[in-house]
Structure 1
Amino acid sequence: MTTTPVSTAPSTASTDGGPHALSGRLGPTGIVFMVIAAAAPLTVIAGAVPLGISAGNGAAYPATYIVCTAVLLLFAVGFTAMARHIPGAGAFYTYVAHGLGRHAGLGAAFLALLSYTAVQGAVYGYIGAAINDLVTAHGGPAVPWYVYALGILVVIASLGYRHIELSGKVLGVLLVCEVGIVMIINLSVLGHGGAEGLSTAALSPANFFHGAPGIALIFALAGYIGFEATAVFRDEARDPARTIPRATYLALLLIGAFYALSSWLMVSAWGDAGAVQMATENPEGMITETAVRYVGSVAGDLVQVLLITSLFAAVLSFHNVLARYIHSLGNSGALPASCGRSHARHASPHVASIVQTTSAAVVIVAATLGGLDPVTQVFAWFAGVSSVGIVALMTLTSIAVIVYFRRTRKDTRLWQTILAPGLGLIGLATLLVLTAVNLPLLVGGSDTLAIIIAVLLIAAFLSGAVVAVARPHAARHTISVDN
């Protein structure tokens, strides 16, 4: 037998007398609500779908969700198999550390922090602009986006400080509302038979490869960001060995089916050529125009309101994920020990939540001082950072899964440990290349900005490795593995 240093699970020991363990009774449904809320279904249908149709592969765009779901399901096979053997709630970084070593694990941890902070900053920009648009559309005064964003930040901070089940209940209500309005639109389009009959473009491989399928896949993949957060809630899950795998598969299937169905009916609502024209000329208003055309003006107003609640649900979910990353790193010694404390009454990562709130406030203030547009710059640029970072993390995790099981032999099932993770790795590596190559497009066509973003992502990963060298006991414990 040999010992290998890996990322540690959260410790229950306290260096300062405070409790460090989280607790909860979340089942698969509660965790799925968290994950799907982070995916922001209405935001994806209103934002990513029109962009994917116009800049990607046109009327065949719905098929990209099927492709992405298939790749991520393959990834999930190895991910959930490894989750049964890995304690702790560090998600990506924990798995990378167990498979590829402590230095790579902490590199992944810091890359994850940057990626999720970026996507949260993107959502804060979008929600500030969306609230202002709604208020001014109904005769209210124009208010700078950052005022609304900071107001939302205060609400998020309050919910994140408290027990996770409160956030779960809030997310559940908001999720039902946003999914409900999209399904009403879907059923109405289906009932009317669309503009020219129901589209069949997504069924043709030739149509799928028409235009820019690589761009289409990037926009589609962005809708899944956060699905792996099922493992982040391990410490607060009821029977995590069963809950986490079930929640992961359920979240992926529901997200993929919802996006594929809704985008297909969005295309059908306008016809193949008409959908491309609408998505090109009025991408931000496509979902609202579809609601008005097939349901009525009241539905159009509801879409505007629920878009804001969708964004709120997303930013709350990302806050919870980030707080748990910070909490896990605090317990591992990679960050100050105080970050790993949990609240005596709420059993929440309250210190980590405060740290995360502070970092979000810094992002909002920095974007404001930089004079960035909340949508075309804050949202687009920060989402671009996150897209590359998350795909890179999933690719690393796929490699870690294969290496871990080959080394430990804790699970010798061929499909779960070699074939599915290997196929998922090929798919993710392809998506990573496509995302990196098209990064300038994601950030407004600027090669310089794309290079800066790439440098930031690499620097984040390297900073984690530096911490591993500077703090030899950070994120370290030993496990027994077979020679």
Structure 2
Amino acid sequence: MAVPTESAPASTSRLSGRLGVGSIVFMVVAAAAPLTVIAGTIPLGVGAGNGPAFPATFVLCAIVLLLFAVGFCAMSPHVPDAGAFFTYVRAGLGRPLGLGTAFLALATYTAVQAAVYGYIGAAIDELVTSFGGPSVPWFVWTFVVMAIVAVLGYRHIELSSRVLGVLLVAEIAIVVVLDVVVVASGGAQGLSTAALDPAQIGSGAVGIAIMFAIASFIGFESTAVFRDEARDPERTIPRATYVALAVIGVFYAVSSWAVVSAWGDQAAVEQAAADPATFLLQTVENWLGPIGLHIVTVLLVTSLFAAILAFHNVAARYWFALGGHRAFPAACARTHDRHGSPHVASLSHTALSFVLIAIFAVAGLDPVAQVFAWMGGTATVGVLALMTLTCLAVLVFFARNRVDRRVWNTRIAPALGLVGLLVCLWLTLGNFTTLLGGSAGLAYAICGVLVLVTLVGIVMGAVRRRPLPDLA
């Protein structure tokens, strides 16, 4: 039985879809961009974090997020609206903070999508030139990708799900092949055992390792955004959340362990620190040969595209939810008569993305070293703050409403998850300047923007206390 919360204004129509667990998991795991993480995050975690024990960091972060997910899923049946973080925080901590959370969430997903837009422009240009094609500015390729994403986001959600499913299977398959080959051969110097040694797990810059590892899970929590389009949301959303988190955690831990084993502990650290950009590609060439290298180079681009499309779908549904609550123009809450998609919200987010990338291009920013790093860092801080607020909202909600008497699901697990998330957030903020290339001023500026965006939402929610009229 759902607990009555502040009534949300009805949208012109609800989103439609028949997404099952598999479809939602595909979109969520695609947002995590598995191959991109293997290529970009693992070298940084191994080279600058806790070395060959970095695979264990994925396990630790997955445990914290599983604790978060327990409360998140327990509350899901009592939050009938789409909107994920927004609706959870609103139900637990009130409308003003809920609306502030919605603004923060939209800023976070916009930032992570902008980060990947920068990366994919550079990646496509490198891919094209490697096959003898012409070199063009990175933003040209980015705008081409943006146009394709705009078309898919406008159409029915099932189309995006099918596209993401195909791309995800391909990128996971090639990494699994690499894992099997390395493990079956016993690695370069035997299979690594560093991840089983507590002393090595806590060695080096463990804070940086946790920061990179937790950033790799961004997107798993977006299952609740697709509530209106799920076949049986009260069952589908919790199952998809657990499955997505388990798949991501196991895949990252095993694959990073195999990559470390492919070099040997000391050699892996040295290679990752010396040349993180080509660490995976060199590993693939050593173990799968030139053909494997070409396949991975292509799939890295499709992995980035899949992440962009997945994050676009999530962000568009935040626009849709905010339109339904009149924080944004009411038109954002309209759905397409034929596709049942949030087409106005989708086009609005595409327009915002276009403006951001245009600004970066005019400013002459490097697509990887600046756009990807700065926007990726912004998203890491944002998503940790969002999950921390959501975890607190879960605890407050169940303390006020005795609708679920499972102590583990409603109190113990969320409380442990809250502690874990606070530690991760503290470590991330402490190492934020490292992620941004050592610029303390930039770190303060980015955190200031996130705080400002949140405050705008809080003020708007506080001013508009009275229930808003229906959009019909």
TM range (shorter): over 0.9
Structure-2 change in CA distance of 1:47 and 1:474 (3 Å): farther
Structure-2 change in CA distance of 1:7 and 1:297 (3 Å): farther
Work out the CA distance in 2 between the residues paired with 1:196 and 1:157. Answer: 48
Tell me which amino acid in the other structure corresponds to 1:319. Answer: H
Work out the CA distance in 2 between the residues paired with 1:333 and 1:274. Answer: 56
Aligned match of 2:79:
86
Q: Is the 8 A contact 1:333 1:473 kept in 2?
A: no
Aligned match of 1:480:
none
Correspondence list, 1:244-283, <5 A: 244-283=237-276
1:226 and 2:225 are equivalent in the alignment:
no
Q: What is the deviation of 1:472?
A: 3.0
Q: Please, which of 411, 426, 447 is the counterpart of residue 404 of structure 2?
A: 411
Aligned match of 1:369:
362
Q: What is the deviation of 1:128?
A: 0.1
Q: Is the 8 A contact 1:237 1:243 kept in 2?
A: yes
**Identity among equivalent pairs (%):** 57
Aligned match of 2:417:
424
Q: What is the deviation of 1:291?
A: 1.1
Aligned match of 2:318:
325
1:401 and 2:394 are equivalent in the alignment:
yes
Q: Is the 8 A contact 1:401 1:421 kept in 2?
A: yes
1:305 and 2:332 are equivalent in the alignment:
no
Tell me which amino acid in the other structure corresponds to 2:367. Answer: P
For the residue of structure 1 that corresponds to 2:203, the secondary structure is coil
Instruction: Spell out, residue by residue over 1:12-60, the C-alpha distance to the aligned partner (whole angstroms, 9 max, x if none).
Output: 4x3xxxxx21111100000000000000000000000000001100000
Structure-2 change in CA distance of 1:337 and 1:383 (3 Å): same
Correspondence list, 1:67-86, <5 A: 67-86=60-79
Aligned match of 1:481:
none
Q: Is the 8 A contact 2:95 2:462 kept in 1?
A: no
TM-score (norm 2): 0.97
1:469 and 2:462 are equivalent in the alignment:
yes
Q: What is the deviation of 1:5?
A: 6.0
Work out the CA distance in 1 between the residues paired with 2:367 and 2:467. Answer: 37
Q: What is the deviation of 1:475?
A: 7.1
For the residue of structure 2 that corresponds to 1:296, the secondary structure is helix
Q: Is the 8 A contact 1:330 1:338 kept in 2?
A: yes
For the residue of structure 2 that corresponds to 1:84, the secondary structure is helix
Q: Is the 8 A contact 1:332 1:474 kept in 2?
A: no
Q: Please, which of 131, 146, 149 is the counterpart of residue 124 of structure 2?
A: 131
Aligned match of 2:352:
359
Aligned match of 1:11:
10
Q: Is the 8 A contact 2:64 2:420 kept in 1?
A: yes
Q: Is the 8 A contact 2:19 2:229 kept in 1?
A: yes
Q: What is the deviation of 1:4?
A: 8.2
Structure-2 change in CA distance of 1:404 and 1:468 (3 Å): same
Runs of 4+ in 1 over 6 A off after TM superposition: 474-477
Correspondence list, 1:13-92, <5 A: 14=12, 20-92=13-85
Q: Is the 8 A contact 2:68 2:417 kept in 1?
A: yes
Tell me which amino acid in the other structure corresponds to 1:295. Answer: L
Work out the CA distance in 1 between the residues paired with 2:364 and 2:288. Answer: 39
Q: Is the 8 A contact 1:6 1:476 kept in 2?
A: no
Instruction: Spell out, residue by residue over 1:298-327, the C-alpha distance to the aligned partner (whole angstroms, 9 max, x if none).
Output: 000111100000000000000000001110
Work out the CA distance in 1 between the residues paired with 2:99 and 2:7. Answer: 8
Q: Is the 8 A contact 1:32 1:248 kept in 2?
A: yes
For the residue of structure 1 that corresponds to 2:50, the secondary structure is helix
Work out the CA distance in 2 between the residues paired with 1:137 and 1:437. Answer: 39
Q: Is the 8 A contact 2:93 2:393 kept in 1?
A: yes
Instruction: Spell out, residue by residue over 1:66-90, the C-alpha distance to the aligned partner (whole angstroms, 9 max, x if none).
Output: 0011000000000000001111111
Q: Is the 8 A contact 2:53 2:200 kept in 1?
A: yes
For the residue of structure 2 that corresponds to 1:294, the secondary structure is helix
Tell me which amino acid in the other structure corresponds to 1:292. Answer: E
1:236 and 2:236 are equivalent in the alignment:
no
Q: Is the 8 A contact 1:98 1:404 kept in 2?
A: yes
1:160 and 2:159 are equivalent in the alignment:
no
Tell me which amino acid in the other structure corresponds to 1:410. Answer: V
Aligned match of 1:456:
449
Instruction: Spell out, residue by residue over 1:158-216, the C-alpha distance to the aligned partner (whole angstroms, 9 max, x if none).
Output: 00000000000000000000001101111111121110000000000000111011100
Q: Please, which of 84, 96, 100 is the counterpart of residue 93 of structure 2?
A: 100
Work out the CA distance in 1 between the residues paired with 2:199 and 2:258. Answer: 20
Q: Is the 8 A contact 1:32 1:247 kept in 2?
A: yes
Q: Please, which of 328, 344, 358 is the counterpart of residue 337 of structure 2?
A: 344
Structure-2 change in CA distance of 1:468 and 1:311 (3 Å): same
Aligned match of 2:114:
121
Work out the CA distance in 1 between the residues paired with 2:146 and 2:283. Answer: 31
Q: Is the 8 A contact 1:392 1:432 kept in 2?
A: yes
* Structure 2 spans left out of the alignment, 5+ residues: none
Q: What is the deviation of 1:471?
A: 2.9
Work out the CA distance in 1 between the residues paired with 2:328 and 2:365. Answer: 31
1:198 and 2:197 are equivalent in the alignment:
no
Q: Is the 8 A contact 2:57 2:210 kept in 1?
A: yes
1:146 and 2:149 are equivalent in the alignment:
no
Instruction: Spell out, residue by residue over 1:119-143, the C-alpha distance to the aligned partner (whole angstroms, 9 max, x if none).
Output: 0000000000000111112222111
Work out the CA distance in 1 between the residues paired with 2:154 and 2:469. Answer: 28
Kindly report the root-mean-square deviation, in angstroms, between the aligned alpha carbons of the 2 structures: 1.4
Correspondence list, 1:165-180, <5 A: 165-180=158-173
Work out the CA distance in 1 between the residues paired with 2:363 and 2:128. Answer: 25
For the residue of structure 1 that corresponds to 2:49, the secondary structure is helix
How many residues end up aligned between the 2 structures? 468
Tell me which amino acid in the other structure corresponds to 1:301. Answer: H
Q: Is the 8 A contact 1:102 1:476 kept in 2?
A: no
Tell me which amino acid in the other structure corresponds to 2:20. Answer: G
For the residue of structure 1 that corresponds to 2:78, the secondary structure is coil
Aligned match of 1:188:
181
